[in-house]
Amino acid sequence: MNGFPKLETEAFTAYVADNRAQGVHRSGYNGVAALIPNGYGNNLFVPSYAGLNYETIGLSGLGPYHEVANGFKFEPRREEMQVEASESVALVQPETSHAHVSAQIDFRVEEPHYLHQRIEITAHQRFCDEGEKNTFRSLWASYMHMPPDRHIYMREGLDGDVLDGWIGMTKADHSAREYSVSRLPSDRDLTAGEHLEWMQSADAVSVDDLTDWDAEPGASQTPLTFYYGLCHDYLFLMMFKQPEGVRLAYSPCGGGQEPRWSPAWDYVLHCEDMDLNTPYVWDVCLVVKPFGGRGDVLDEVRGYLGV
């Protein structure tokens, strides 16, 4: 990863890339090109792709993006972008040619195991009629490198017994609309490896049986406070400071199916009615450390949100 700005904590090393090709990092991907837990040695993200990758722009009335020269359909991945590095690292994308959206994405680390992402998005042009909501949506992709457990794990709310209310989720394939959901046990905690064993033997539940959820887990309208995945024995915990403006996006094989499925543990930024020339900010925090149980996950989320 020579040539990429580096951010380090006692728990991991991260390398930030723009959307140009360099070494194994392919063009058209940006964000964290490599995230390597100390003592593990392997990149948690697909090496040729990236994580926390600015993937798409959607605005009300905006037609599809198509870059004529190469036929690419994802505007942020193809338009000009620069890296600015000091104590933190920023990816700066000027106003794009199609959506006319500019972005600044700041990455910084905090000891002992936090990677912060501050996303500032500004729309400069409307594509819908006056009086119609100028709705903004943007997918941010993390292509995980073949974790044995493809599931993501969630809980609605932060109150109550720390082992209550947890579910694990996956889908049959990338195009499947419905999630397969199972409850985690409430009478005992699980190690990282026991998560997958439990999910392989647990009965799936219908969404109607999840009486403690206001909406279908994974539904596009559900605010997202946090979710976690497991990369061998490492916790990959995503936390969101503005949950009302974040949704879940997930694919069990978004990063590839060979030689083993590489899931995409993604999120979507959402704004119901975006004003022009006004910066909108989302704060995201990723925790990478050895998994310490669901109570530890809740402690991290509560600490980040200050609740």
Rounded Cα distance, 81 and 292, in Å: 38
What's the whole-model pTM score?
0.96
Task: Classify domain 6-305 at the CATH class level.
Answer: mainly beta
Q: Is the pLDDT of residue 68 over 90?
A: no
Query: How far is 99 from 94, CA to CA, in rounded Å?
Result: 11
What is the DSSP secondary structure assignment for residue 86, as one 8-state letter? S
Give the confidence band of 208 by pLDDT, cuts at 50, 70, 90: confident
Q: Which residues, in sequence order, are CB contacts of 32 under 8 Å at separation 6+? A: 14, 15, 16, 17, 45, 50, 51, 52, 53, 107, 115
| 3-class DSSP assignment, residue 97 | coil
Give the pLDDT of residue 221.
75
CB within 8 Å of 211: residues ≥ 6 apart: none
Structure tokens of 213?
A: 């959820």
Q: From CA 26, how far away is CA 48, in angstroms rounded?
A: 5
- Among the ranges given (20-24, 185-189, 297-301), the one the predictor scored with the smallest mean pLDDT: 20-24
- Could you tell me the residue ranges of all domains in the chain? 6-305
